[in-house]
Amino acid sequence: MYGVGEEPDPRFSLANERTFLAWLRTSLALMAGGIAVEAINPFEGFLQTALALVLLVVGILTAATAFGRWAATERAMRTGRPLPAPRLAAVLSLCLVAAGAVAVLLLALR
């Protein structure tokens, strides 16, 4: 990838890297939340496991797609193309809404 195009302004590359690291932090927080829901055992049954799995899977997918997003953005900056659309944010938002709905349901049934 670094052999493609021209070197962008370092500020833009560093901002892209900071964004990548923020996505990784988000991923770690989601996975820790999934482990906590299962380990602390505030709820019992299928919904608890479902909530934990949703958080873990979303965390894993966030980490997996964060690198691709970083690479696509870096490539776009180096070749002078438009930046890619932020699809990861929309998917993450929908998954978090689903996880939040399950958590509210679990609390209401307690």
Count of the separate structural domains present in the chain = 1
Tokens 């690198």, located at residue: 67
Query: Would 1 be classed as within a structural domain?
Result: no
Q: What is the pTM of this model?
A: 0.78
How many CB atoms are closer than 10 A to CB 17?
A: 13
Tokens 């991923």, located at residue: 27
- Give the C-alpha separation, 37 to 29, whole Å: 12
Structural domain containing residue 67 = 10-109
Q: What is the chain's Cα-based Rg? A: 18
For residue 80, give the 3-state DSSP assignment. Answer: coil
For residue 104, give the 3-state DSSP assignment. Answer: helix
* pLDDT given at position 39: 86
Q: pLDDT tens per residue, the chain (110 residues)?
A: 667 788 888 899 999 999 999 999 999 999 999 999 888 876 677 778 888 888 899 899 999 999 999 999 999 999 999 988 887 788 888 888 888 888 788 778 77
Query: Would 5 be classed as within a structural domain?
Result: no
Query: Would 2 be classed as within a structural domain?
Result: no
Query: Would 4 be classed as within a structural domain?
Result: no
**Cα 57 from chain centre:** 10
Query: Would 18 be classed as within a structural domain?
Result: yes
* pLDDT given at position 37: 86
